[in-house]
Amino acid sequence: MQIQPDLLEKLLVEDIDFKRRYTKHDEYKQKVSSLEKRQHLTPSELEEKQRYKKLKLALKDEMEVIIAQHEA
């Protein structure tokens, strides 16, 4: 997702829904990263990692829609 820094800053300040999605996306990104750093994952941890990836992707798609609306 490429976004101009000025637009990102504007959305984070002015659009509370975008900010919520952005914050959650970052949270999921950190959780996935943390799980990927482990050498061995249990089956439940693998499932958790996949769930976070899907949630993160869904939020990214939602944010891209909002960005496209503001760029138009």
Q: Domain segments of the chain: what residues?
A: 5-71
CA-CA distance, 21 to 57, in Å (whole number)?
11
pLDDT for the residue numbered 71: 84
- Share of residues in the chain with pLDDT > 90 (%): 89
Q: What are phi and psi of 42, to 5 degrees?
A: -75, 165
Radius of gyration of the chain (CA): 14
Residue where the block lists tokens 């996935």: 32
Query: Is 5's pLDDT higher than 70?
Result: yes
pLDDT for the residue numbered 37: 95
pLDDT for the residue numbered 1: 63
Q: What is the pLDDT of residues 25-49, one digit of tens each?
A: 999 999 999 999 999 999 999 999 9
Residue 18 CA, distance from chain mean position? 11
Question: How many helices (DSSP H) and strands (DSSP E) are in the chain?
Answer: 3, 0
Task: Give the pair of three-digit tokens for residue 2.
Answer: 């490429």
Query: Is 3's pLDDT higher than 90?
Result: no
